[in-house]
Chain A
Amino acid sequence: MGPFLEALIRAFRMILTVDPEVYSAVGTTLYVSTVSLVLSLLFGIPAGFLLGYASFPGRRVLRTFVDTLLSLPTVLIGLLVYGLLTHNGPLGRFELLFTVHAIVIGQSLLGFPIVTALTASAVEALDQRLRLTLLSLGASPLRRCATSLREARYGLLAAAVTAYGRVLTEVGIAIMVGGNIKWHTRTLTTAIALETNKGDFAAGIALGLILLLMASGVNAALYGLRKRA
């Protein structure tokens, strides 16, 4: 039996036998990635909208900077958050290091520039005639912003899908600030890394397949949202 077939069978067995260790990792993965995505959207959409809609001095420089952050390595974000949350760090007194909250902070920092940059692009791509139409129909500044965001909704959905894909599959942050603690901070990606280090490739591949299934489920749900939008 080839390792891939073996992995496939093990993946199904893990799912069907309700393996508690796997389900704990699935739960942690879903929790940290979902909360991180919500935080990224909460801050990234307004920031991206401002960046794409408003004109202010230094906008181009800021836009380039945000685009650069898209290629920020996850281990670097992990290192930064570790430095902030470590016992002697500026936020050390909150004792967040090696908790799921630390992973959420790191993954939010990872998702934020993605949502910001893609929202800015979606807003920049809006039809130039939209502004004149909204003005001529008497829309207030707030209403103009809300309507413009709604017009850019497919772009925003793409930003959410991209950011979710990135936070769901990252491993550097989860290992560095989560610590890969069984039953607590172990996510699917850190579990895969652990199994691979142990030499159990089949278990690693099986967990990878579960991760892929989750990502497909989330994408299908978001695609369904797009059809309804």
Chain B
Amino acid sequence: MRFSSSPACSRSLSSCPLLYIFQDVEQAYKGRTVLSVARWSVRRGTVLGLVGPNGSGKSTLLRLMGFVEFPVRGTIFFEGRRISRKDAQALRLEVTLLPQDPYLLDRTVADNVAYGLSVRGVRRGRAARVQEALQWVGLDPGVFGGRSVRALSGGEARRTALAARLAVRPQVLLLDEPTAEIDGDSVQRVRSAILHARSNWGATVVVTSHDREWLLTFCDEIQEMRDGRLTGPIAAKATIGVQ
């Protein structure tokens, strides 16, 4: 199955087409329900923030949206199509997830950033895209490109992992606590990288964070989660493109 890479929705947010629809979705681990979403949708081009205490289901929701796991019950529609496990491989080329505790391959920084491109068969201009992505997250390619990931600080490692996701220019970018344990300067770098992804190739971005104030500075909408449920929007901008 092929999925389109539609351009950014340049109209007001409410008129953008629905990208995700969750219908009676439930996720459970070892028989314990950790997420329950009756009906929920995300519009294309949205920058959506998710807030909530630990264990509220934010990471689970992102993993379902990233098609790296599937619900025990319910249906997820993406671009109007009902998604099954056999669609996952194709979808993961369009949707990419930055996990809360990202893992870097035991290679150089540049090799890590290039990995997603090599998976997608991108050969031409690969080095330029790697350099570009590193610059977006504030890592000097000349300094960091050839460095082993073992020599990175926690913040640099996180930014490298983010650059690896940005380099593939995904249609949907899912970021799980991207600012956890990083300094103020890196937090601003992450924010500008997110806005860059939306303005440059129209990415839909979903970000989880405990920092509500930070999310308010750039998200179109912020949803709160509690006990595995979405408890409703707590803030929203009228239109997209407001930064």
Contacts and interface: CB of A to CB of B under 8 A. Distances in A.
A136 B97 contact: yes
A130 B98 CA distance: 12
Interface stretch (B7-15, B113-121, B190-198, B226-234): B113-121
Interface stretch (B24-32, B48-56, B79-87, B101-109): B101-109
A150 B164 CA distance: 18
A143 interface: yes
Contacts of B164: 137
Q: Is the interface of A mostly helix, strand, loop or mixed?
A: helix
Q: Is the interface of B mostly helix, strand, loop or mixed?
A: loop
Interface residues of B, number: 23
A140 interface: yes
Interface in A117-158: 127, 129-130, 132-133, 135-141, 143, 147, 150-151
* Max count, chain B CB within 10 A of own CB: residue among A132, A133, A140: A133
B58 to A, nearest CB: 15
Interface of A: 127, 129-130, 132-133, 135-141, 143, 147, 150-151
In the A-B complex, the 6 residue pairs with the smallest Cβ-Cβ separation, listed nearest first, are A129-B103, A136-B97, A133-B103, A138-B93, A138-B92, A137-B116
Interface of B: 63, 66, 68, 89, 92-93, 96-99, 101-106, 115-116, 119-120, 164-165, 168
12 contacts: A129-B101, A133-B99, A133-B103, A135-B66, A135-B92, A137-B92, A138-B89, A138-B92, A140-B89, A143-B119, A147-B115, A150-B105
